[in-house]
C-alpha cells in the first residue's frame, strides 16, 4: 500500500513541477504588459475548456497559463517572482478569472453569492465571443462621434461598434465611455484588427461603481493615462484595513495604448452580469474641445503617482510607530495592573492597624472555636425538656392545700 504524503509534501512537489511563467506564456523577461496580455489571451483561447471539453491536458494547460498570467500581470507579484521565484509568491492568494459562460447554473449562483458578500471575483470574456470575433463573424454597428447609443446586452454576450476618426481627430484624442444607470456589470473592450478581417482583444476595462451608476472608459489622449484596478484594493481590504489603505493606489497602472491612428476602430460592450442582461449607454467623443480637461487630468494623475510614492514611504514609518504604540499600550496596561495591586496591598495593611478589626477577628475566632465539655453538659441540661411524669408532680396554685380551723368562726 503506497504511503500517504502530507499536504506540505504535495505542495513542495507541485512547486517543483511548475514551469517558469515566462516560458509558459512564451515571452521574455523584459516583455511589456501588453505583450504578456496578448500572449495570455492567445493561449487561453487555444486551451479554453469550451473548445477542449474532453481533453484533460488542455485543461491543465489552461490552468497553467492562467496561473502564470496571474503572476506576471501583477507588477508586485512579478517583481517578487523575479527576485525570489515561486517561494515569494503566495499561490493561495492567486485570484483566477472566471468564464461565467462555462460555470453552469449552480457554480454561477455561488459566484454571485460571494460577489454579493463582497468577495472580489474577476471574470473573463467568454471564449465563444473571442473566437467569433477572431473569425470575423460578429455584427459591427457604426458609432458616430458625439452620439450616444443605449441598448441592452445579454449576459456573456457582446455588442460591437466601429468608430472612424480622421488624422486631426486622432491627434486631438479620443474617449470612449460606457455607463449603466441600473448599475449593471459590463466590460468595455477594444479590438485590434487582424489581416484576415478578424478581431483580437487588445484592451479590457471592467466597470466600476461611480455614484449611482457603473461606468468604464478608455482614454487615448496622446500621453500616458492610468487605470485603477479595484480588485487589488478589494483583496487587500479583505485581509487588513491598514493594508487596504496603503495598497489603495497599487492598482494604478498605465494603459497599454495611449493614442489611436486615423481609421476605423472597434469597441465592444460585454454583458458581465451573473444572471440578467445589462443595460448601457455608449458614447465616443473627440477631445479637441476639452483642452483644459486634458491638462487637468494629466496634472491630477501626476499628483496621484507622487502620492503613491509617498504612501510607500509613509507605510514603513506608520508600521514602525504602530509597533511602538502597541508596545506602549501593552506596558500601560501592565503598569496600571501593578499600581492597582500595590494600592490594594497598602489599603489592607492600613486596615490591620484598627482595634475594631482585631476584636472582630477575635470574635470571629471565638465563634469558630469548639465549645468545652462542661458547656456542652450545661447546655444539654438547659435544653432538656421535662417528661410527662415530672409535669404531673409539679404543684399548681390550684392544688395548694390550705389548712382551715373549722372550730373558729371566721
Q: Return all residues near 139 (Cβ < 8 A) that are at least 6 apart.
A: 160
Quickly tell me which residue has 487582424 as its cell.
194
Listed in order, strand segments (DSSP E) in 109-173 are: 122-123, 140-142, 148-153, 158-165
Distance between CA atoms of 225 and 257, rounded to whole angstroms? 9
pLDDT for res 324? 92
Query: Within a 13 Å sphere around the CA of 396, how many CA atoms are in the beta-carbon half?
Result: 4
Predicted confidence at residue 40, as pLDDT, reads: 85
Give the three cell numbers for residue 83: 527576485
Which residues pair with residue 176 across a beta bridge?
A: 218, 284
Q: What is the pLDDT along the chain (410 residues), one digit of tens a residue?
A: 444 444 444 444 444 467 889 999 999 988 888 788 888 888 888 887 767 777 888 878 888 888 888 788 777 778 888 887 877 665 444 444 555 455 455 444 544 444 544 445 567 788 888 888 988 899 999 999 999 999 999 988 999 999 999 999 999 999 999 999 887 889 999 998 887 778 988 888 888 888 889 999 999 999 889 888 766 555 555 566 777 788 888 778 888 788 899 999 999 999 987 678 889 999 999 999 999 999 999 999 999 999 988 988 898 898 899 899 999 999 999 999 999 999 999 999 988 888 765 544 444 445 455 555 555 555 555 555 555 555 555 555 555 555 555 555 54
Contacts of residue 111, Cβ cutoff 8 Å, sequence gap at least 6: 98, 100, 103, 121, 274
Cell of 351: 486596615
Cα separations (Å) of 318 from 194, 235, 246?
51, 21, 10
Q: Where are the domains of the chain?
A: 21-117, 127-223+258-289
Closest listed residue to residue 250, CA positions, set 313, 305, 318, 206: 305
Neighbours of 291 (CB within 10 A): 11
What CATH class is the domain 127-223+258-289? mainly beta
Set of cell numbers at residue 223: 500621453
pLDDT for position 123? 72
* Residue 371: predicted pLDDT: 58
The Cα–Cα gap between 81 and 79 comes to 5
Burial class from Cβ neighbours inside 10 Å (0-12, 13-18, 19+) for residue 191 reads buried
- Helix (H/G/I), strand (E/B), else coil: 382: helix
The fold for domain 21-117 equals: Helix Hairpins (1.10.287)
Reference 144, options 179, 169, 172, 181; nearest CA is: 169
Tell me the pairing of strands 174-180 and 213-220.
Answer: antiparallel
Amino acid at each position: 500500500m503506497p504511503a500517504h504524503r502530507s499536504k506540505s509534501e504535495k505542495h513542495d512537489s507541485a512547486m517543483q513541477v511548475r514551469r517558469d511563467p515566462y516560458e509558459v506564456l512564451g515571452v521574455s523577461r523584459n516583455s511589456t504588459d501588453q505583450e504578456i496580455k496578448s500572449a495570455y489571451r492567445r493561449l487561453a483561447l487555444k486551451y479554453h475548456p469550451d473548445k477542449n471539453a474532453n481533453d484533460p491536458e488542455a485543461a491543465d494547460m489552461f490552468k497553467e497559463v492562467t496561473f502564470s498570467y496571474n503572476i506576471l500581470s501583477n507588477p508586485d507579484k512579478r517583481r517578487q517572482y523575479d527576485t525570489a521565484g515561486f517561494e515569494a509568491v503566495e499561490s493561495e492568494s492567486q485570484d483566477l478569472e472566471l468564464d461565467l459562460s462555462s460555470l453552469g447554473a449552480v457554480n454561477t449562483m455561488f459566484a454571485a453569492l460571494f460577489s454579493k458578500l463582497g468577495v472580489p471575483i474577476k471574470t473573463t470574456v467568454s471564449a465563444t465571443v473571442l473566437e467569433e470575433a477572431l473569425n470575423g463573424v460578429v455584427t459591427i454597428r457604426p458609432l458616430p462621434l458625439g452620439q450616444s447609443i443605449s441598448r441592452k446586452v445579454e449576459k456573456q454576450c457582446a455588442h460591437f461598434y466601429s468608430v472612424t476618426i480622421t488624422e486631426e481627430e486622432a491627434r486631438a484624442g479620443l474617449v470612449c465611455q460606457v455607463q449603466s444607470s441600473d448599475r449593471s456589470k459590463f466590460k468595455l473592450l477594444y479590438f485590434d484588427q487582424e489581416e484576415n478581417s478578424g478581431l483580437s482583444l487588445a484592451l479590457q476595462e471592467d466597470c466600476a461603481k461611480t455614484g449611482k451608476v457603473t461606468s468604464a472608459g478608455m482614454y487615448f489622449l496622446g500621453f500616458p493615462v492610468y487605470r485603477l484596478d479595484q480588485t487589488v484594493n478589494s483583496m487587500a481590504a479583505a485581509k487588513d484595513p491598514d493594508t487596504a489603505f496603503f495598497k489603495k493606489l497599487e492598482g494604478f497602472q498605465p494603459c497599454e495604448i495611449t493614442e489611436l491612428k486615423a481609421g476605423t476602430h472597434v469597441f465592444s460592450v460585454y454583458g458581465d452580469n451573473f444572471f440578467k442582461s445589462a443595460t448601457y449607454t455608449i458614447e465616443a467623443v473627440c477631445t479637441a474641445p476639452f483642452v483644459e480637461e486634458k491638462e487637468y487630468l494629466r496634472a491630477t494623475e501626476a499628483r496621484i503617482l507622487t502620492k503613491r510614492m509617498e504612501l510607500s514611504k509613509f507605510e514603513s514609518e506608520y508600521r514602525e510607530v504602530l509597533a511602538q504604540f502597541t508596545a506602549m499600550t501593552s506596558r500601560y496596561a501592565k503598569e496600571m495592573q501593578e499600581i492597582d495591586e500595590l494600592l490594594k496591598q497598602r489599603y489592607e495593611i492600613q486596615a490591620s492597624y484598627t482595634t475594631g478589626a482585631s476584636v472582630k477577628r477575635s470574635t470571629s475566632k471565638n465563634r469558630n472555636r469548639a465549645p468545652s465539655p462542661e458547656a456542652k453538659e450545661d447546655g444539654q441540661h438547659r435544653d432538656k425538656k421535662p417528661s410527662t411524669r415530672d409535669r404531673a408532680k409539679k404543684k399548681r396554685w390550684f392544688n395548694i392545700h390550705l389548712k382551715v380551723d373549722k372550730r373558729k368562726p371566721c
